[in-house]
Every structure is written in structure tokens, then in C-alpha cells.
Structure 1
Amino acid sequence: MPKKAKSKWADWLTEAFQVLRPPEKLTVAEWADRYRVLDSKTSAEPGQWSTDRTPYLRGIMDAFTDPRVEEIIFLKPTQVGGTECLNNMLAFVVAQDPSPALVMYPNLDMAKFTSENRLQPMMELSPALRSRFRPGNSKDLELQFDGMYTVIAGANSPASLSSRPIRFLFMDEVDKYPKSAGKEADPRSLARERTKTFPFNKKIMQTSTPTVRTGPIWQAWEAADVKLEYYVPCPHCGHYQTFKFKQIKFDKSLDAESIRGTAHYQCEHCDEIIRDAHKPAMLRAGEWRDSSGSTQLRRKTGFGLNAIYSPWVRFGDVAAEFITSKRTPEELMNFVNSWLAECWENTQIKLNSDKVLEKDSGYEEGVVPDRTILLTGGVDVQKDRFYYTIRAWGECMSSQNIRHGVVETWAQIEDVMNISYCARDGTEYFVNLCAIDSGYNADDTYTFCVNNSEWAVAVKGSNTALPSKYKLSKIDREERGMYGISLYMVDGGYYKDFISNRMVRKNDEPGGWFVYTGCDLEYAEQVTAEEKIIEKRGRNEYEVWRPKTAHADNHYLDTEVYAAFAADCLGIRYMRYEEKPEPKKEVSKKPAKQNSWVGGGNGSWL
């Protein structure tokens, strides 16, 4: 065989061998340390990637190749390398496990900018990626590689989330996504739909700096199967702990620049001073753990960090930023979100189920407390059941839940609201007014309230604040022959404020809010299922009540809102307890004086 033919044959075999040879068995961090090159235009430290610079990213990146993990949630601040972590995962896919991928950013402009200035340069700089990249066949929003394509999408564009199947989904800064993609549904849901073709080996990565508790990344964090934080050892005592802002010690009387140079960290275990020079070694020795100390990964694994871990941030920088940010709520919100990686909330009061159970009145279930003026009820109507509460009211709007529960029919609601409830002295009480939610099954609620108008009224919660606590309107249901039905619009936010403020009063203070002895945990959890937070709408901020966690049941809270409205509607604020008059004592009558002739005297003739 001629030498030239042999050479071509050898080249073909070499190329075929390269194609057929399986990829090296590497983790994402190992691959990045060996092949990733950072661009001087977008990186403060250009050149060869080194995970040792940000050791906390190793566990997050390596979770991507763990077969137990399907979804990674990275709750992050700024300045910790979160975006580069995502980029390393994408690069790993291109080089090691080619399959269709989608990378989604908050909008198309950011998607195009990132593709041009970060992703495409990343592919060109690394020989391992460049050999697979096909720039001639690529567009800014669709990169082509050997064996795969990568769609670069904007969450605001339904067209960029077209129906192409993907195995790998990467979502960056999800809290900045619009709630819907044009006329379509939530863009995250649309993107997830594209992974259905790969039910057993898909991977989803979402990361963001949090905003509010109801934001996407915080909700994803709450829903994770396991929540991991990065524990680092104290250089003095070896105790593993997470970096917390409260452990940064500084003189608050100093200006920001002086604080920047004098602040230090204090070990929560031995109280020794930890300096910035200690941090690199602490980070290298750290590990991801959950609150129980376990390092186990699960199907949905959450990773949470704050900016204190960043190798580019000193303890004094965090303290100085806090002092500077205290000037306005907007700046403080940025500090909480972007530095502490916590959701922003302006909750007036933190309520939990334990607080409810502490409000034990000392009365058994069903027993009306002493000095009660009236009873009211509240009913939350659901598809297949009714939640109800009955509350006793006294002076200063002091109140106690005497009964609550779940029934299945309107007849049972009628029964529970019409039986008598007794005080310890035997005095009988009946529910004076019951407010019934008409939000779910309006027609049946109106019919029931018309038939029981002497004690029941229909109500509907208002989504916005009302000029007054409630507003009466009249409605007609001609098809049912009902006219002039009373419907009260109720400001739920006002009455939730009322309940929360009364709940924290000391037990000996007038106007308290109580429950009966042995109150169940489910009721307590539902009554405290919401909290008050600040939400931005355009340029304005509003305080609103929102569920603490996704899909949290709050039915008993709604019933208590309606019961409080009913008491207000009856004028309980202005009522005073009337002491019962003491029963008159019967005066014993003296026997009439007998006439002596009947036999009462010595001279009787008998």
C-alpha cells in the first residue's frame, strides 16, 4: 500500500478513534479546572479556571453529575460566581454529554448580550469546546455543536421557548422573569415542558438572587427536598458553622469607611476573632450540609449562600454596606437580597403555630367564657367541605375560639350554628351572626343566606384595600328568584392585621385573642399560614398578606377573618357586658299570731 494511502488511512482511524472514544470520567469541577478558560472582558481574574478560588461551588457543580439529583436550586447573592457555575455546567454538557439544552435569561436583550459576550467567547477560548462548536451554523440565540444544539432564550418571549425538546435546562436570575411569557403561561413552566422527552435523565438548574418570599427562587428553595448550606470550620476551635451576618462585629458609631477596616467575624462557638486572612483556608475545608448535619443529596437539592463567603468580599465590606444601606428601605432591601441572599419582608409580626397554642384561655372546647357578650361564626366554603369557626366576644373585643371544625354539607353548617353553647354557670348562648364566604360557590351561598337571613350573611374577601373595613352591596339572582341579597365585601388585610395584633397581646391585657384548651395543631398552623410582606407594583410598594409557603392551607384564618367581621358588624366595639342582677332572696314569713281562743294561750278553752 502506498505511503500516502497509509497516511490517509491512519488519519481516518485516528479521527474515528477520537469520535468513538468515550469522554473522560470527570465531574463538572474537575472538567472546569482542566479545560475552562475565563475571558478578560467579563472576568476579574481571566485565565485558567480554578475551583479552589471559590471552593463552595465545587459541591454545586458536582451535584450536576450526581445521578440522584434532577434539579439544582442555587439561592445566591451577587459576587459569588453563580453565573460562572451555570456556565461551567453548560460547557461540561457540550464537551462530555452532548444533548439539547436551553439557557433562559430574564429577557431577550440579556439573552443576546450574554450569548455574544460570555457564551460564545467561552466556546472559542477553550480548545475542548472550540473543537465541537460550529459558529458558522450558529446564531446568537441558537448555538450549534457536534451532537447537540443550545437555545438561548428570553423569558419574555414565547417564540424563544418554542417546542423543541431539551434535556438540560438552565435558568438564570429567575426572580427577574416576567410572570408570563406574552400571552403564554409562566415561562419557567413552559421551559420545563420541553424536558418531558427526557423523563429519566434530564437536569434542571435554576439560580437567582432572591427578592421577596413569594418570588420564584425562594419558593423553589422552600420546595426543595433538601436545603444545604456551606459549613466552614473555625480556625481556632474547629467548630463547623455557617457564616451569619449577626456574627460580624463592628462599632456602629463609626462611619462606613472606618467600619470597613475594623470589622471582624466572631466564632459562634468559642467567641474568638476570625480575620479575613482566615477565610480562604476555611472555605477550602468547608462542606455542604443540611440543618441536621447530613450531606446527602436528593432529587431536588437546594444550595444557599450569602456574600460573606465570597473571596472578593471582606467582613468589613459587609458591615459597611449594611450601615450605608440603612438610609432607605430600597437600599436595605438590596442589601438583604444581594448580600445576604434572603427574601425581603417587612413583617410587622412573626406568627407561628406555637404562638397560637400559647393563647390558651383555660376553657374547654364548647364552653363559653365568662363575661361573654355575643357569639359569631365564620365559614370558608370549599369544593367538598366547609371550614367553620365559632368565636365568643367580650368587652374591648376580647375573644376566644370555642369551636372549629370541618363539615361536608350545608345542613351540618346550619346545625352547628344553631345549637346552644353554655357558659359555666349554665347561661345559654347562640351564634348571633355567621359570615359565609361566597367566593367559591356563590349561588348556593346566597340561597343558604337568604333562607337563614336571621343569622347568616354572605361575604366576599376584597383583593384590594377598601375605604372602610367592609362594604355592603345588594345583588340580584333573577334566575333563582332572589332580589336584594346582602353581600358584604370584607377587607381581609385589615382583619388579618386585627387578629395578628390581638394575638401578641399579653394574656392579662384587655382585648386579647384566645383559643380553647387543647386546641389542635392544624388549626394553629392554618391561622398563621400567612405573613405580611412588602410587594413592589411598578414604582410603588404595598404591604400585603401572602402565604408563607406555596399551597399553604389558610382556611381557618379566613374563617376567623369572617367571624371578626361579623362581630364588628354587630357593633361589638361599643358593647359592654351587663352584670346579671343578683336573684332576690325570698323573705321568710313569720307565722301569724294565733288568737288565744283557738288554743294559743293558757286560757284556751280547748
Structure 2
Amino acid sequence: MTLEPRFAELRREALAALHPPPKLRLSDWIEANVYLPSSLAAQPGRMRLWPPQREIADAIGDDSIEQVVLYKSARVGATQLMVAALGHFVQNDPSPVLAVLPVDSDCRHFVTSIVEPTFSESPALRAALSADATGRDTMMTRHFPGGSLSIVSARSPRNLRARTARVIYGDELDAWENTAEGDPLEMAIRRSMTYPNAKLVLASTPIDADTSRIVRAYEATDQRVYTLPCPGCGEFVPVEWKDIRWEPEQPETAHWRTPCCETIVQDRQKAALVDSGRWTPTAEGVTGRRGYRLTSLTSTLPAAAWPRLAAEFLQAKRSPATLKPWLATALGEPWRGEGDDLDGVSFPALQRPFSAEDVPSEVLVVTAGCDVQADRVETTLVGWTREGDMRVLGHVVTWGSPTENETWIEVDDLLRRQFRHPAGSVLTVDATIIDSGNWADAVYAFCRPRAARRVLPGKGVPGFGRPGVAFSQTRKVRLALLGVDGLKLGLHQRLAHGETILFSNQLGGDYFDQLRAERLVTRYTRGRPTRAWEVISGRRNEALDTLTYATAARQLLSLDLDRREGELASVTGKTESPRVIRSKWLDG
């Protein structure tokens, strides 16, 4: 190399050091390099961020920001944004990355249905997660030059301990459950403490205000809200549900009335205002920790149109069982403690003149729940309406030891019972769950030959994040694993609000005392709040348990209710008398 070309090269290097090229913002990189497959987007192809997402993406890519918190609803594209950000850490900023999700099934879905399809669709990322030369790659661990991507369940403390990472991504924090080793969020954060430039990205829809991890994480940030310019006065204000108005029973008229000057804004104007919106911090003196409150009220997706949200609300508000998930998924609002106990509920006001002998006309489905004690089996029969409302038809006690066949013969007779419907036909018990508890052998023996009738043994599993019903196989019988904490909370909320659950007027005071037998308490372990059901001293809770099992049994069914209604209305014709053949021997 001659002196002159070498001098020119050194000069270029020196100028580059003095004036480095501007760093590409993460939002720009995402829109240039990330492609969404048709399985994840209504409009597949190159990813286009909507305005609120752009600042969030840039905050994730900013090395000076150590923590980004997304306190969000559904329908805001948060998962797609997180996967695109993972692509950035794989290609542009290689690092050990740890993604923590609630349970193992979520991890598998995240890898196979979200990460892999997105990376496969994006040319810049297609070869990024290639097989590791050492053969260490598994479904939940992928290696790439300069780093790795590990996806683990929050329920697996051993897997959390086994990994360190510079970037921690926690998804759906409020569905995480404390383990025997403590709070999985604290364990995950400790995995990054050896890195001076660690990055923590947390995202979740909230569940319950008292124990919400995402609410606590957001409150430790600068608490940004997305504000829109008011067309009337120009002031930037957030869109809140209390300002969405519509004519009575006409959700299609839903609009936004701005809080500053009460200007009426129609949904068709929303997209333009969102384009001009901005993030506004509401907590002063916080640096390095960004918090974003993201709701579907400012989403431009068709599913988040204000009239559609209003129509959903009118359906959801009938019952806390439907209102609670709507608040979380539509507004990103946590549930605030209603229904913790039932001492204030007037059960006589919820009683009506019906019973198992006189089934209400609106009942289309019947389920049963059984609790097994040393000297009896208690059964609650519940009727269900088209809308999912409950009609508690009766509570039956079958006396006898669960080790005796005669006891189970009586229980089987009860579960085979026919209920005359006012429409003309009859109903039978569509599904039953029997608590196996301390009598597993007897319950399994009873349920095994009756599985075709959806008579299943059940076992309660703790944890408010558990699904109402999951399944396991044991001793050649299908076992229903019941998320009893959440099921009981749903019943308490139904009873504390409205009349979506009504009771037969033949049920007595002792039955309702048993429904009041438990209350929800919040305890603190190592400074972290946890909730648990506590039996009130001196009270029995069999009625609450059987009602819980009958509620879970409804989740075993996927019925065509139009067909069921038609079947009930089609009264069978006159029954023919049995034909008698006279024996010739009698004439002999």
C-alpha cells in the first residue's frame, strides 16, 4: 500500500471517530427489516408501527433507558412489537436474552407460533437463529453469534437460576405465580445483575389491583400516558373510558367527549388524532425507567373502534365474570377487590320460585358438582341460560360412606335424573365434576365407566392464574384440574354484583351460610402481596365447593344452544304401548 492511500484511509477513520453516523432508531430498523406472517397480522408483510408504538420501540433500543414497562390492554400490538425488538437484540446488539412467560405452554406457543414465523418471514432475521454448531439448541433455547435466546416459564425456578442474560423480557406478569423460591420477577431480575448495561422490558395486562406486578412496576416509572390533541382547543389530553359517550342502548353512536372543552370527536377522526398524539410523562424526577400506559381506546385497529368497545361493554357489564376480563383486555384496568366476601349479600333477594322439579324456561343446560365426605356425598345441580347466567336448582345430600356401593348407586341415580322442561321435553345432567380429595380410589372407580357422560373426577389446584379447567391422565381416568381460586372469585363477584346467579326458593339458610364460608385475604410474603381463600372459623363450605365444581363442569361443554333449544321445544309424539305377544302355551 502506498503512503497516500494509507493516509486517506487513516483520515477517514479519524473523521468517522469525531463524527460517528447517527444511530438508527429501533423503530426505523423494525419498519425496514421486520415482516409479519399472515398468521400474526391481518395485513402481512413489512411491519408498520402505529404512532404510540414508535416511542416504545425507541425506548427499548435506547441504551440509556434501563427499564421499559408496558401497562397495557389487548389489541395494541404489544406482542408483535416485543418480537421485533428481540430481532434487534439478535442482529444489531447481540446479547444473552431471557424471555419469561407464565407457563410452559405459553413458551412453546411463543417460539413456534410467533418468534419462528416472524423470523422466517423477515429476510434480515431468517438465518439469525440458525442451529448451534455445538448442538446445544433446543426448542426453548436458540444460539446466535454473540448471544442466545432462552424462553422459560415463570413456574420453573430451576430454569431461571440456570441462566444469566443482559436483556430480560417478561410477558404477562400478572399471570405469574410465586414459586417455593419466591417471586419469579425478582429471580429474573437477578439474572441480569452482572451486566452494567442490563435491559428490562416488562409487559402485561393487569388482573387484580391488590397483587398486580405490572401496576407496581408502572408506578416505579415516569408513568407515561398517550395524549391526543383536542380538535376544539388544541390541548393534549388522554382518552379515558368515562369520556366515551353514546345514546342509551345505541353503542353505534359512541364518541369521545374531550375533558378539556367537551368537543365531540367521532371514531372516524381517531386515526388522524393518534398520528398527532404524543407520550406525556405524569411522574416527575424519574430517569432511566420508562412506563407506557397503552389501551385500546387509542388503538386504530377496527376491533378497537369506540362503537365496538361500547357494544362489548354493554354485554360485559351484566356480570363481574365478564366485566373483569373486559376491563383488563379492553381498557387495561385491574379489578379492584369487589366480591372478597359475601357478608353483605342478601341471598333471599336472589331466590326465585323454581327447583329441580320446576325448571325455569330459560335453562338450556344442567351441570352438577359433587363433594365427597366420610359419611355423605353432597351434590349441587345448576341450570345455565343461553347468556351464561346460573340458576341453582337444588342441593342434594346422599348419606352413606363413599366406600359403599349403595352410596354411589344413589349418586348415579341422581346424575341420571331427567328434568321436565317447560318447553315440553326433558333435560339431563350434561356434565359433572366430583372432587376426588381424600377418596380418590372410590371417585376414580365411579367416574371411569361414566366418562362418556362427562362425569369426571376433579382436583383443585391453587393459583389465581390457573385456567378454570385443565386435564391430566391418571389411573386410566381423565382428571379435571380445577383452578379453584379463580373459580371461587368468579362466583363471589357474580354474587356481589347483579342477578346473573339466582337460587331456588327451596334452599335454606344453612346452604347460604356455607356459600359465605370463605373470604379472600391478602397476605404479604417477603414484602410481596399474595391472595388466598380463608375458611371463616366455625363455618362449613361444602355448598361453596359443590357450586364451584358445577361451575367448572360448564367449561367441559361446547354445545349448540340453538339446537338444544329446538330439541327442548320439539315434544315427542305419543309413546306407543309395549307390544305383548301372547304365548300359545297359555291357551293350552
Q: TM-score, normalised by structure 1?
A: 0.52
2: distance between equivalents of 1:161 and 1:93?
20
Which residue in the other structure is 1:537 paired with?
485
Q: 1:132 aligns with which of 128, 131, 135?
A: 128
- 8 Å CA contact 1:74–1:208 kept in 2: the answer is yes
- Residue 49 of structure 1 aligns with an amino acid whose one-letter code is M
Moved more, 62-71 or 325-334: 62-71
> Does residue 44 of the first structure (1) align with residue 35 of the second (2)?
no
Which residue in the other structure is 2:74 paired with?
78
Which residue in the other structure is 1:239 paired with?
235
- Residue 91 of structure 1 aligns with an amino acid whose one-letter code is G
Q: 1:121 aligns with which of 111, 114, 117?
A: 117
CA pair 267-188 structure 1, distance change in 2 beyond 3 A: same
Q: TM-score, normalised by structure 2?
A: 0.53
- 8 Å CA contact 1:134–1:146 kept in 2: the answer is no
**Partner deviation per Cα, 1:377-399 (whole Å, 9 max, x = no partner):** xxxxxxxxxxxxxxxxxxxxxxx
Where in structure 2 are the equivalents of 1:106-505 lying within 5 Å?
Answer: 106-135=102-131, 137=135, 138-180=137-179, 183-198=180-195, 200-213=196-209, 214-222=211-219, 224-252=220-248, 254=249, 258-259=250-251, 261-291=252-282, 298-312=287-301, 313-346=304-337
Q: Identity rate of aligned residues, in percent?
A: 29
- 8 Å CA contact 1:153–1:161 kept in 2: the answer is yes
Q: CA deviation at 1:546?
A: 5.3
Structure 1 unmatched ranges of 5 or more: 1-21, 350-534, 554-606
Q: CA deviation at 1:547?
A: 9.3
**Partner deviation per Cα, 1:19-55 (whole Å, 9 max, x = no partner):** xxx998222211101101001112222110111xx21
**Partner deviation per Cα, 1:432-467 (whole Å, 9 max, x = no partner):** xxxxxxxxxxxxxxxxxxxxxxxxxxxxxxxxxxxx
2: distance between equivalents of 1:23 and 1:77?
37
2: distance between equivalents of 1:23 and 1:115?
35
Where in structure 2 are the equivalents of 1:82-93 lying within 5 Å?
Answer: 82-93=78-89
Q: CA deviation at 1:290?
A: 2.2
1: distance between equivalents of 2:328 and 2:164?
34
Where in structure 2 are the equivalents of 1:542-557 lying within 5 Å?
Answer: 544=520
Q: CA deviation at 1:346?
A: 4.1
- 8 Å CA contact 2:231–2:263 kept in 1: the answer is no
**Partner deviation per Cα, 1:113-143 (whole Å, 9 max, x = no partner):** 2101111122222222124321465321011
CA pair 107-50 structure 1, distance change in 2 beyond 3 A: same
- Residue 151 of structure 2 aligns with an amino acid whose one-letter code is I
Structure 2 unmatched ranges of 5 or more: 1-19, 341-482, 493-518, 530-588
- 8 Å CA contact 1:28–1:88 kept in 2: the answer is no
- 8 Å CA contact 1:98–1:147 kept in 2: the answer is yes
1: distance between equivalents of 2:274 and 2:256?
14
Q: CA deviation at 1:320?
A: 1.2
1: distance between equivalents of 2:174 and 2:528?
21
Q: CA deviation at 1:251?
A: 2.0
- Residue 35 of structure 1 aligns with an amino acid whose one-letter code is N
CA pair 538-276 structure 1, distance change in 2 beyond 3 A: closer
- 8 Å CA contact 2:206–2:332 kept in 1: the answer is yes
1: distance between equivalents of 2:139 and 2:41?
21
**What CA RMSD, in Å, does the superposition of the two structures yield over aligned residues?**
2.7
Q: CA deviation at 1:270?
A: 2.4
Q: CA deviation at 1:248?
A: 0.9
CA pair 348-112 structure 1, distance change in 2 beyond 3 A: closer
1: distance between equivalents of 2:218 and 2:338?
20
Where in structure 2 are the equivalents of 1:576-591 lying within 5 Å?
Answer: none
Q: CA deviation at 1:167?
A: 0.2
Which residue in the other structure is 1:568 paired with?
none
Which residue in the other structure is 1:11 paired with?
none
Q: CA deviation at 1:217?
A: 1.0
SS of 1:250's equivalent?
strand
- Residue 174 of structure 1 aligns with an amino acid whose one-letter code is L
Q: CA deviation at 1:236?
A: 3.4
- 8 Å CA contact 1:68–1:298 kept in 2: the answer is no
Q: Please identify runs of 4+ aligned residues in structure 1 that moved more than 3 A.
A: 135-138, 346-349, 542-548, 550-553
- 8 Å CA contact 1:68–1:297 kept in 2: the answer is no
- Residue 260 of structure 2 aligns with an amino acid whose one-letter code is H
SS of 2:247's equivalent?
coil
SS of 1:112's equivalent?
helix
CA pair 538-546 structure 1, distance change in 2 beyond 3 A: closer
CA pair 106-23 structure 1, distance change in 2 beyond 3 A: farther
- 8 Å CA contact 1:23–1:96 kept in 2: the answer is no
2: distance between equivalents of 1:141 and 1:115?
7
- Residue 177 of structure 1 aligns with an amino acid whose one-letter code is W
CA pair 205-23 structure 1, distance change in 2 beyond 3 A: farther
SS of 1:62's equivalent?
helix
CA pair 301-29 structure 1, distance change in 2 beyond 3 A: same
SS of 2:95's equivalent?
coil
- Residue 318 of structure 2 aligns with an amino acid whose one-letter code is R
2: distance between equivalents of 1:217 and 1:547?
18
2: distance between equivalents of 1:337 and 1:538?
15
- 8 Å CA contact 2:208–2:337 kept in 1: the answer is no
> Does residue 103 of the first structure (1) align with residue 99 of the second (2)?
yes
Q: CA deviation at 1:58?
A: 1.1
- 8 Å CA contact 2:222–2:282 kept in 1: the answer is no
Q: CA deviation at 1:237?
A: 2.6
SS of 2:27's equivalent?
helix
- 8 Å CA contact 1:69–1:297 kept in 2: the answer is no
